[in-house]
């Protein structure tokens, strides 16, 4: 009983630790690939009468560098700063060991708009691989930069980039009088531009994105007991779902956005339910004297995976909604929980406890059953997966502080996203937003 609610208890405990004001998360690469690909992003030329609010090339370079897959050339080491194809001298870049080159130019046009053109070159083959034009304004240059990063990343790796997505997470600030200020924060995928969605003096837990990125579901204790709310991001409107006696928790959106899986204890012990948001019909999915919790949808919306101690220890199960057939998925270790499937359904991220008796992030190949432990940090929990299936973001600890960590699906690249001060917990990664 105690272990199955470990995630909830740790989250509540860590949020009570002293936290200062929220600031940008700063990604620190702790492990990268052995031979990252050398690439240079040259400062983009600017032709306009007003100052730009962002350095596009710096953001693109930082995006690519944080993946751990690329070795970014420093500007001080660049022999030239081309902005047009006829200014690119490949020998200059080969001398520095660069394999790929990004150049760009920015032009002020009518009505305060900015036209950005960028190009990607293969230095060794001496040919252009990509050229594109984007239009925006001075207030959305960071969005343009992330878009450029997405395109370059996809061209070089064959995988769609996820730099233009968003993450949400929970922070808190404890004051001298013992009061705690909880915040639900949303930021760019790199931790920049954080904004507060919800602020209150009672815990916030389990934020979950709708597939279309327009709204969130989360658990709030503002009334003194857990209740599930839906937050509409465009309007700021907030909707409280029907609150039942006991536990109301662990909301998870269906792929079509029309249903929420959730955990209720209104009938005794915690069970998994599905709420149809159109008809408001509530269907009980699991029926067992054990604790069933942490539902998560399959990509096709036909089944749910969930955590249960029905076998004596927390393990992950799958239930098919059409016929309620249940199968146990995990067997290795004495604790497996918080399962999340990649968008293609091939892999499952989870919290795993094995021989070292520590909680780590692991990934299970759903095709051959292989389980690989990806992290060596402590008290890892709450895994969430990038929409391209390449990175798992999770909550962990650095010293006495709660921070967010990230690891690629193959375990080759690891990073931390600590805030300048305080705890950060309960991450959730959006789907693609465009």
Q: Which pLDDT tens digit goes with each residue over 176-208?
A: 777 888 999 999 998 899 999 999 999 999 999
pLDDT higher than threshold 90 for residue 323: yes
pLDDT at 73: 96
State percent of the chain over pLDDT 90.
78
pLDDT higher than threshold 80 for residue 6: no
Q: What is the pLDDT of residues 89-103, one digit of tens each?
A: 999 999 999 999 999
pLDDT at 416: 87
Measured CA to CA, the distance from residue 191 to residue 163 in angstroms comes to 10
pLDDT higher than threshold 60 for residue 22: no
User: Cβ distance 407 to 395 under 8 Å?
Assistant: no
pLDDT at 29: 74
pLDDT higher than threshold 70 for residue 12: no
Residues in Cβ contact with 35 at an 8 Å cutoff, skipping those fewer than 6 apart: none
pLDDT at 356: 86
- Other beta carbons within 10 Å of 141: 19
More confident residue, 321 or 400: 321
pLDDT at 420: 65
pLDDT at 52: 96
Q: What is the pLDDT of residues 107-121, one digit of tens each?
A: 999 999 999 999 999
Mind giving me the DSSP string for 220-279? E-TTSS-EEEEEETTT--EEEPPPPSS-EEEEEE-TTSSEEEEEE-TTSS-EEEEEETTT
pLDDT at 322: 95
DSSP code of residue 179 = -
State percent of the chain over pLDDT 70.
94
Largest distance between two CA atoms of the chain: 73
Question: Could you tell me if residue 97 is left (phi over 0), alpha (psi between -120 and 50 degrees) or otherwise beta?
Answer: left
pLDDT at 317: 98
Measured CA to CA, the distance from residue 407 to residue 68 in angstroms comes to 10
User: Cβ distance 237 to 194 under 8 Å?
Assistant: no
94: nearest Cα among 69, 73, 124: 124
User: Cβ distance 123 to 149 under 8 Å?
Assistant: no
Distance, C-alpha 273 to centroid of its chain: 25
pLDDT higher than threshold 90 for residue 26: no
- Average pLDDT over all residues of the chain: 90
pLDDT higher than threshold 70 for residue 16: no
- The reply to whether the predicted model has a pTM over 0.95 is no
Q: What is the pLDDT of residues 371-430, one digit of tens each?
A: 999 999 889 999 999 999 999 999 998 887 888 999 999 898 888 887 766 688 999 999
pLDDT at 178: 78
pLDDT band at 4 (very low <50, low <70, confident <90, very high): very low
Q: What is the pLDDT of residues 342-351, one digit of tens each?
A: 999 999 999 9
Measured CA to CA, the distance from residue 83 to residue 95 in angstroms comes to 19
């Amino acid at each position: 009983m105690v272990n199955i609610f470990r995630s909830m208890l740790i989250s509540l405990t860590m949020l009570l630790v002293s936290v200062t004001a929220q600031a940008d998360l700063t990604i620190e690469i702790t492990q990268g690939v052995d031979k990252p690909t050398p690439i240079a992003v040259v400062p983009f030329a600017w032709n306009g009468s007003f100052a730009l609010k962002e350095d596009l090339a710096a953001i693109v370079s930082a995006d690519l560098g944080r993946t751990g897959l690329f070795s970014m050339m420093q500007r001080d080491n660049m022999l030239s700063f081309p902005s047009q194809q006829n200014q690119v001298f490949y020998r200059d870049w080969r001398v520095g060991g660069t394999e790929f080159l990004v150049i760009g130019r920015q032009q002020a046009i009518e009505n305060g708009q900015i036209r950005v053109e960028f190009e990607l070159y293969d230095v060794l083959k001496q040919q252009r691989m990509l050229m594109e034009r984007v239009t925006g304004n001075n207030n959305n240059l960071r969005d343009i930069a992330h878009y450029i990063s997405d395109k370059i990343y996809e061209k070089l790796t064959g995988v769609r980039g996820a730099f233009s997505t968003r993450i949400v997470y929970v922070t808190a600030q404890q004051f001298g009088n013992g009061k705690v200020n909880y915040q639900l924060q949303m930021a760019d995928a790199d931790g920049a531009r954080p904004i507060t969605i919800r602020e209150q003096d009672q815990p916030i837990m389990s934020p979950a994105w709708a597939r279309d990125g327009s709204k969130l579901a989360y658990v709030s204790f503002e009334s003194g007991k857990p209740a599930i709310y839906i937050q509409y991001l465009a309007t700021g409107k907030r909707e409280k779902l029907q609150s039942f006696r006991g536990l109301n928790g662990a909301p998870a959106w269906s792929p079509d956005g029309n249903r929420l899986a959730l955990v209720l204890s209104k009938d005794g012990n915690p069970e998994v339910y599905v709420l149809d948001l159109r008809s408001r019909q509530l269907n009980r999915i699991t029926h067992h004297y054990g604790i069933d919790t942490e539902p998560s949808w399959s990509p096709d919306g036909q089944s749910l995976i969930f955590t249960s101690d029905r076998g004596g220890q927390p393990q992950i199960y799958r239930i098919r909604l059409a016929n309620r057939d249940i199968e146990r998925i995990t067997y290795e270790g004495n604790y497996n929980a918080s399962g999340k499937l990649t968008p293609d359904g091939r892999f499952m991220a989870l919290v795993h406890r094995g021989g070292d008796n520590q909680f780590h992030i692991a990934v299970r190949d759903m095709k051959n059953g292989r389980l690989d432990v990806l992290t060596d940090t402590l008290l890892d929990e709450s895994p969430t997966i990038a929409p391209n299936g390449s990175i798992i973001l999770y909550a962990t600890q650095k010293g006495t502080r709660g921070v967010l960590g990230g690891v690629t699906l193959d375990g080759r690249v690891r990073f931390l996203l600590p805030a300048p001060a305080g705890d950060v917990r309960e991450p959730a990664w959006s789907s693609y937003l465009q």
